[in-house]
Amino acid sequence: MNISHVKTTDFTDQKPGTSGLRKAVSVFQQAHYLENFVQAIFSTIGPVTGQTLILGGDGRFYNREAIQIIIKMACASKYSRILVGQGGLLSTPAASCVIRKHQANGGIILSASHNPGGPNGDFGIKYNINNGGPAPEQITNAMYTYSKNISSYNIADIPDIDIDTLGNQRIGHTDIITIDPVADYAEQMSQLFDFEKIRKLFAGGFRLCFDAMHAINGPYAKEIFIDQLGAPAETLMNCTPLPDFGQGHPDPNLTYAADLVKVMNAADAPDFGAASDGDGDRNMVLGQNFFVTPSDSLAILAANATLAPGYADGIKGIARSMPTSQAADRVAAALGIPCFETPTGWKFFGNLLDADKVTLCGEESFGTGSNHIREKDGLWAVLFWLNILAERQESVEQIVTSHWQQYGRNVYSRHDYEEVESDSAERLMSNIKKQFDTLPGQRFGHYTIAFSDDFAYTDPIDNSISRQQGIRIGFTDGSRIVFRLSGTGTKGATLRVYLEQFEDQAEKQQQDAQAALSELIQIAEQLAEIKKHTGRDQPTVIT
């Protein structure tokens, strides 16, 4: 096997965000662009001689081409084994599962998550370490540093590998093993949840509508819901993975999963609706004409965890991202377990999970997961809900409203302003920070500000510090407004505004969230001057 040492020059924009490096497809198609970053991965985590690499992606446009490049570079780096998902496919949670099961050195996941795909869409690449979770900041920072000084990369001069046929191919000292992308993951789910009870639920006429949004979870849903749990074929919606996601936006929320929302709001709606995103790690759950916020979903899963076999002994603790509502905190307090508040980004949960401090984790951005892997997990969340529904024999709405009656309701919403001009978004955030010294004690309508800060997190395990993780405006009654610029987009900036207030009076818990939060929405505009800085009268997405 001949190895080429290809001369290259650095790119200045290869700093990974909260979920790896994401750019437009056209950026990754530049000569040497992908190769440079892959070499930065291998050189930073190396030496990798004799190690095992897991490789796969969400099937978006350019996935197959990138897989071939990475295989050739991994062979040149002398990996002993490369386990690649058949067809180049592997959901993000399945990749984490496979890394852990096969004790791999780590894995490369090709995805831009919930961002659109296709020739004019986005592409992404991230490295997950040997615990199955995203590489921590010290590693991604080292990759970025290497990328800025790179002068060459190594690649094997070999033909493209057959990634569509299961089995082993040996190239030099490397075994390239094409694996079933679903098998290991499906086996793990059957160990966590009561599949027999869920089968009986479907056999009794219970109806699920699952929308894979033409993304990676289609094959996983077919294997688990149809083949193993016996749900009827009409359970599945948009379950054929497509490189452009059917020209849709594979983000499971009320705006982009409109097909599912329409089904669930119809007079003859199924009992339960769910959707997942581009790489399969996010979820949305719905009842009949009833939306469950991700924050409430995390709290309800925690409160009912012992109903699932994999969590029958109880949970050690809960972790939530800072912008996620405090509903989970109330459950943790009732259970007498800790609840950790971390920055946004699943990698911040890794140390807590590895130290056995927490069992369940969640983010308001439609991500929920547990210690079974080190990623959020869309299908896992749906199966957890199905297990609870099978045990309690109540509707989604009944379970949620009962939860509110017991713990109170954290009325919550997120307003997204997508593709805002970056400089304008930064000015908006800067102007809020300039008010910090004078905001505490100020009264806005019925609300008085208790504190304002830019959230910083000290990891309780390794004492690393992450600063500037989002602006918090806290009120004396426990209500909150949070402003944050998201790092998951590739065009401009996404301004996210999070609004939350607590309601313990049962007669008020059923009110519409936007109506209940209307005064906080006005205060957010007053504090941030959103319309002035963004030019927008309304958010792009409201969840």
Please identify every residue annotated as catalytic.
113
DSSP strand pairing (106-110 vs 3-7): unpaired
Here the tokens at position 277 are 């995103």
Here the tokens at position 85 are 């998902």
Return d(Cα 214, Cα 59) in angstroms, integer. 10
DSSP strand pairing (283-287 vs 290-292): antiparallel
Q: DSSP letter for 293, please.
A: P
User: Letter for the amino acid at 37?
Assistant: F
Return d(Cα 49, Cα 46) in angstroms, integer. 8
Q: Which of 2, 32, 25, 27 is nearest to 13 (CA)?
A: 27
- Reported in sequence order, the residue ranges of 371-425 that DSSP labels E, i.e. its strands, are 409-420
Q: Which of 381, 399, 400 is nearest to 210 (CA)?
A: 381
How many C-beta atoms lie closer than 10 Å to residue 456's C-beta? 12
Return d(Cα 108, Cα 197) in angstroms, integer. 36
Q: Angle CA(223)–CA(354)–CA(467) in degrees, nearest 5?
A: 110
Return d(Cα 287, Cα 283) in angstroms, integer. 14
Q: DSSP letter for 439, please.
A: -
236 forms beta bridges with 210
Helix or strand holding residue 285 (H, E): strand 283-287
How many C-beta atoms lie closer than 10 Å to residue 51's C-beta? 19
Here the tokens at position 383 are 């199966």
- Contact indicator for 486, 345 with CB cutoff of 8 Å: no
Return d(Cα 403, Cα 28) in angstroms, integer. 46
* Greatest alpha-carbon span in the chain: 73
Return d(Cα 83, Cα 180) in angstroms, integer. 10
Q: In 3-state terms, what secondary structure has residue 189?
A: helix
Query: In terms of C-beta density within 10 A (0-12 exposed, 13-18 middle, 19 or more buried), how is residue 377 classed?
Result: buried
Q: Angle CA(248)–CA(251)–CA(256) in degrees, nearest 5?
A: 60
